[in-house]
Amino acid sequence: MTLEGKSVAVLIAPRGTEEPEFSKPKQAIEEAGGKVTVVSFEAGVARTVNSDLDEGGSYTIDKTFSEVKADDFDGLVVPGGTVGADKLRGSGEAIGFIRAFFDQKKPVAAICHAPWTLIEAGVLKGRTLTSYPTLKVDIENAGGTWANEEVVVDNGLVTSRDPDDLPAFCAKLVEEIAAGN
């Protein structure tokens, strides 16, 4: 599967995004030939975390939310991490950016706690997805159906539960972005 000529936004929340949920999808997109743009709140460098508490790697932020729009990309990846997802869902700019991908029917991949941002964006009604298990009731209250599966695809939305699901998650997000909508 190739992503040659495709551009994908990957979000990062400094000191909150889970390291493997950020780095593995980014790597999968790049290995498939896609161009990744790391998007966050402010310019500079962002550190990820491991297991929400331990320091992870440092990554350069390519663009801020104020510098991008969904029109610029073929797909979006929203990594998890409890703190990172919470920071993202608390930002009107981030939520508007995420919602625009759904409005344009572009592929979106969200793992672990990242579906909190989708709840905030109001895009889950009638959709089936998975997440970290503690989000089940939140998803159901937002009108979605929660499934305890390694990876769930619903109309271009790719979701997984946690870092153990990353191989299946990465394969499906590359497939969905390659197919477009």
> For this structure, is 112 an active site residue?
yes
Candidates 25, 37, 8; CA nearest to 159 is 25
Look up residue 74 and give its DSSP letter: S
Query: Which candidate in 113, 127, 161, 172 is catalytic?
Result: 113
Using DSSP's 3-state secondary structure scheme, residue 136 falls into helix
Name residue, tokens 């089940």.
136
Query: How many CB atoms are located within 10 Å of the residue 61 CB?
Result: 17
Phi, psi angles (nearest 5°) of residue 180: 70, -160
> For this structure, is 70 an active site residue?
no
Query: Which candidate in 39, 112, 166, 177 is catalytic?
Result: 112
Phi, psi angles (nearest 5°) of residue 171: -60, -45
Name residue, tokens 């619903």.
154
Q: Give me the active site residues, please.
A: 112-113
